[in-house]
Structures are given as C-alpha cells and as structure tokens.
Structure 1
Amino acid sequence: MLRDKTVLVTGSDGFIGSHLTEELVRRGYKVRAFTYYNSFNSWGWLDHSEKQIKDQIEVFAGDIRDPHGVKEAMKGCDIALHLASLIAIPYSYHSPDTYVDTNIKGTLNVLQAARELGVSKLVHTSTSEVYGTAQYVPINEEHPLQGQSPYSASKIGADQMVLSFYRSFETPVAIIRPFNTYGPRQSARAVIPTIITQLASGKEKIKLGALSPTRDFNYIKDTISGFISIMNSEKAIGEVINIGSNYEISIGDTAKAIAEVMGKNVEIETDEIRLRPEKSEVERLWADNQKAKELLGWEPSYGGINGFKRGLKETADWFANPGNLSRYKADVYNI
C-alpha cells in the first residue's frame, strides 16, 4: 500500500512544500522533509505547522546543490517529490548563476540519487513560466517553451534533464507544471501577497508592476491535490502535466477582486522597479488542464471567478491575522 511508503519532499520548508508536507502527513504518509540547512535551525514554514504534524515529520537539513547530502536524504525513501528551487524572477536577473546551480544542478542531483537508489517515483516541479507569453490559448503541454527570464530558462533546463533520465535510463519520473499558485504563506514578492499585505497594512494606494499581463491563478489546495494525484498515478510516468484553473484574469482585475473580498478601496500606482524588462514580461498565461482531468481525474475546486474569490478570501483572512502579517514587510519591495 502506498501509504506504507516513505516520501521525500525537497523544498518542504517553502510555500508549496510546507503545505504539501502537511497534507501528506494528514493522509497517513511517512514524510522526510528536506529543508535548506541554516545556522538558525529554522525549518522555514514547517516551524509554524501544528505540533501533531511536526512530531510526525522526519527533517533532513541540507543543500540541494550537494549531491552527497541529496543522496543521503533519499536513502530509504520510496517516492521523491522535488520542489526545492529558486523561484523569484527579478532575483534571476540579478544572480542567474545561482539559478543554474540550484535549479539545474540541484535537479540533476535528485535524479542521480533517484536512479542509483531505485526510487519508485520522482515527481519534479516545473512552472508555467517555461511557456513564456502564450502563443495560443489555452496553453496545453505541447506549447513551445520560451526562456524569457534566467529563471524560466533554468526551469526549462531542469525539466529537460528530468525527461532525459526517463528516456535514457527509464527513471520513473513525472513532471507537474503548476500555473500561478497562491495562498497562505506565499512570498511577498508574488503579486497576490503584495496586494493583500499592502491593503491589510492600511494602504489605499498600492504599488504594483505591470497591470495588463494575465495569469491563471491556482489556489494552493488545488496545487497540492495535483501533486498527490500525480504521485499516485502510474499513468503520469514520463508525462508533463499542467495543473491550472483554466481561468484567465489580468493583474489589474486581480487587484480589484482582492480589494472587493477585503472590503477595501484601492488605487494602484505603477512602481518602475517592479516592471520586468519588456521582452522578459510574460504577457499571458491560461492553462489547458484537460490532460490532468483525463489522466488523473484531477479538477480544480477553486476554478472560475467564484472559486478564485473564495481562494482570495481564504488567503486574505490568513494574511490579515496580525501574527501572520507581522512576518511580512509590506513597505519593502523584495526581489
């Protein structure tokens, strides 16, 4: 039975990874959480998990860039869910070398360990950013890949490395390609927390980058159910699978929807520092999720405008809690 197996989650200390780790524990899986080693003995967001969940997690602190540590972390694990990566697009303009080391070389380390240790399934986390600006909509898994930022280029490289191991060595891999995930704990550098934290801090005039790009926002609970569906499906091996809501909305309209669910008035001003270089901005993302529906039986629970507003309300309620809001610097632009 799958729940008797041990699951390694890399990046378990991050936004999506912590939610995934908690849900796996709730569902009865044995979980080894690979966190980024630091001298503060911090487990990231897992530090804020309920005690009964924390007590059931085996934590391994290490660095995804270290092949020896990665292999040690994976020993005795049956399944690996690989989420550890650098994800901030603006920081990838600043320090692209670290994205190659973490996202490409780190993924190679995970692949090598999975191959050598005979792991029964490796699920690798991609991103909708690999598609770049949509050439057609909705975007299915056959859409061309376009590296419009060093971040997206590094993720394209990582994805291709994963598929090469499947084709070269029959390593049992699957690639989950989530569209823009949002929810409690998301980094303040992402657009939805940027809007919510500014409004929750009492601002009526908020600073944003470009307002015209569209996104397919995916609530965290839907992304997590996508991970678990792919992990459990034999049909997913060797496949790339979009996890998205199949609903497109602009950044400007997203800000208005957030203001509505928070009962706030909002005035938006463009902050030049938040704008991406023109050819680097992904203007349009809209997921075709038909493959996930057909292969996995997965469907978003927070789809469409009504589902989006439900997800925004849950997210805004979490951020509005003073204990949570105090962890964010609403006045500081974080690349």
Structure 2
Amino acid sequence: MKHVLLTGATGFLGSHLLEALLAQGYRVTILKRSTSDTWRIKHLLDQVSVFDVDLVAIDHAFKSKKVDFVIHTACSYGRHGQTDYEVIESNLLFGLKVVDAAISSNTHTFFNTDTLLPKYLNAYSLSKKHFSEWLKRKSEYIKVVNFRLEHMYGPGDDQKKFVPWLVSQLEKGGDRIPLTDGRQLRDFIYIDDVVSAYLTALKKSEQLLSYSEFDVGTGELSSVRSFVATLYDIYKSKRPDIKTQLGFGDIPMREGELMSVEVDNTALKRLGWEAKVSQEQGLERLIGAVL
C-alpha cells in the first residue's frame, strides 16, 4: 500500500483527489493549517493522518511514515486580498519547503499543480511559474511531474471562481447577470477528469522521466459564451420558472484579458489518459449537485 502526502486537501482539487486516493487504497497524510476549513473533507478525516504545518515542522510528516509520493495542490490565488508576498509565500516558499523535505526523506516522486496561464498575467501565475522552474532544478534529486491545469470546474469549488459565481447568480434569481461578450476561448475540464490525470501518472510513475510536464485539458476549446449558455440551458431545464437573463456584452473585457489558451494533452494521452466527461455531462453533474 503506497503512501501519498497531499497538500491542499481542504481545497477544491485536493478534496476530490483525497477522496479518489482513499478509494484507490492509498494511505494518505495531509498537510493543512490548524485554521483550515475542513468542510469538504470532514467525512474523510478519520481515514488520514493530519499534520498542521503552522504547529509542527513539515519534516515531521515525512519522518512519521515513509512517504512514497507527494501530490502538491496547495496554493493561493490571491483572490482574498493577499499581498504579493503572501502569494509568493504560499505558492513558492511553502512548496520549496515541502519538496526539500521530500528529497531529504528519499520520496520517489513529487507531483506539482501548475497552471497554463501566462507567466506574467498576475501574481498567482508568476509565482507558480517560478516554482515550476525551481522544480526543474530539484529534479536532479527527486522525480518531478508538473501538471499544467486549464479551467477545471465541478461541485465544491470556491465561490469566488467564475463557474460557482455564475451558478450562485442564477440561484439568487436576479433580473440579469452582467457578462462580457464571451468571446474568450477556454478548455473547460470537469474535476473528475483532472483527478484521473493525477491517478494515471501516479500509477505510471516508474516509467516517467526525472522531469515530466503534462497539460491537463480536454484538448477542445469552447467560447465562454457557449459554455455559459449551456450551463444556463441545463439550469433552466431543472428550474423552468427562472427569469434571469444572461447579459452578454454588459461589461467590457478586463485589461489584459487572455482571449485563448494553448493546450496540448498529447503526452498525457500517451500515458493512457483521456477526458471522459463531456461538457454537457459535467454541467449536468454540477447543477445536479447544487439543486
């Protein structure tokens, strides 16, 4: 039974990963803060070992049991008023502490969660790119797998992110939701397909290079407008009395808005992974979990 140390387990991606790892029979240790809100994983806490990193040194988690793999998902998006330093502390410095502890403990593989956003878009993307650059250096001492994620969605996400915000606006039942014209192109990927990418690479870790990088997306771009319209139609099919209108074009694009993304999931498919949840299926599951 392999042992996985998971960071960010109380977050959206981390909580789904934790559930899947336990279902697959892995032993799991999680790192969190003593102040972390565990609502997503409270039903799983009695199945894992827990270390509060603000109370004990990180290397304690590695010394207590042999850790085979680290899956690092903890991050700060900077959405809650964090300073640049606080974002860097979460996304770079904390990650370096974890990977150094893993190296000292002869951990086999470090799986990192990166982004496909451009490096200089914001403090989040810049700090994530800096960490992935450090990991290339660290791969001399530990095998590294770097996942570059596109726009994932699903139940249990942060309410400040676009898709949950949109659903919450429909729930409120206002007259109109202000939106851009929605020409931006994104690769929307359902959370279960993201989790399966990690599990696939985890099982194939022996055959991977010292540093591997995988784009995690469906490989198909769709406009924000079409995605929102599909979500709206599914929501309306379940709540036909809804009167809320979609205000496409009501607000201008943000300055520096990313109009498209480049996703190449070829390497991930070579491992045997494929996206199995269509956009309609994913949105049906999301709306079904909300209503």
Alignment-derived partner of residue 197 in structure 1: 168
1:227 and 2:218 are equivalent in the alignment: no
Query: 46, 56, 81: which one pairs with 2:47?
Result: 56
Provide, for residues 176-228 of structure 1, a one-character-per-residue CA deviation record: whole Å limited to 9, x for no partner: 11211100011112111111111122234113456222110110000000011
After superposition, give the CA deviation of every residue in 1:219-273 in whole Å (9 maximum; x if it has no partner).
000000001111222233411111110111122222111101111553226676x
1:28 equivalent among 17, 25, 30: 25
Bigger shift: residues 243-252 or 232-241: 232-241
Counterpart code for 2:68 = D
Q: Which residue of 2 aligns with 1:323?
A: none
Task: Answer whether contact 1:10 1:83 (CA < 8 A) is retained.
Answer: yes
Q: In structure 1, how many angstroms separate the alpha carbons of the residues matched to 2:138 and 2:181? A: 38
Measured after TM superposition, the shift of residue 13 of structure 1 is: 0.4
Out of 151, 165, 170, the position equivalent to 2:124 is: 151
What RMSD, in angstroms, separates the aligned Cα atoms of the two structures? Answer: 2.2
Which one-letter code corresponds to 1:153 in the other structure?
L
Helix, strand or coil at the partner of 1:45: coil
Amino acid at match of 1:46: I
Which one has the bigger helix percentage? 1
Which range moves more in the overlay, 114-123 or 54-63?
54-63
Matched, 1:43 2:16: no
1:79 aligned partner, one-letter code: F
CA distance in 1 between partners of 2:61 and 2:279 (Å) = 37
1:19-62 C-alpha deviation (Å, 9 max, x unpaired): 10011111111111222221xx7424212x3xxx4331222222
In the other structure, the counterpart of 1:293 is 269
Q: In the TM superposition, what whole-angstrom CA distance separates every residue of 1:282-306 from its partner, at most 9, and x where no partner exists?
A: 2212422111011x1100002xxxx
Residue number among 236, 252, 257 corresponding to 2:208 in the alignment: 236
Equivalent residue for 1:266? 245
Q: Secondary structure at the match of 1:239?
A: strand
Q: Post-superposition shift, 1:317?
A: 1.4
Residue from 53, 77, 95 that aligns with 1:87 = 77
Q: Does 1:12 align with 2:2?
A: no
CA distance in 2, matches of 1:317, 1:62: 36
User: What is the letter of the counterpart of residue 91 of structure 2?
Assistant: N
CA distance in 2, matches of 1:91, 1:236: 37
Q: Percent identity?
A: 25
The change in CA–CA distance for 1:8 and 1:203 in structure 2 (over 3 A counts) is same
1:49-86 per-position Cα deviation (integer Å, ceiling 9, x unaligned): 3xxx43312222224xx9x6222223322211011111
Taking the aligned partners of 1:157 and 1:209, their CA distance within structure 2 comes to 31
- Runs of 5+ unmatched residues, structure 2: 237-241
Aligned residue pairs total: 281
1:125 touches 1:177 (CA, 8 Å); kept in 2? yes
Counterpart for residue 228 of structure 2: 255
Q: TM-score, normalised by structure 1?
A: 0.78
- Conservation of the 8 A alpha-carbon contact between 1:197 and 1:319: no
Letter in 2 for 1:266: Q
Q: d(CA) in 2 for partners of 1:243 and 1:275?
A: 26
Match of 2:189 in 1: 218
Aligned equivalents of 1:37 and 1:209: distance in 2?
Answer: 39
TM-score, with structure 2 as normaliser: 0.89
3-state secondary structure, aligned to 2:41: helix
Q: 2: CA distance between counterparts of 1:188 and 1:270?
A: 23
Could you tell me whether the CA contact under 8 Å between 1:82 and 1:122 is conserved in 2? yes
* Distance of 1:161 and 1:44 partners within structure 2: 32
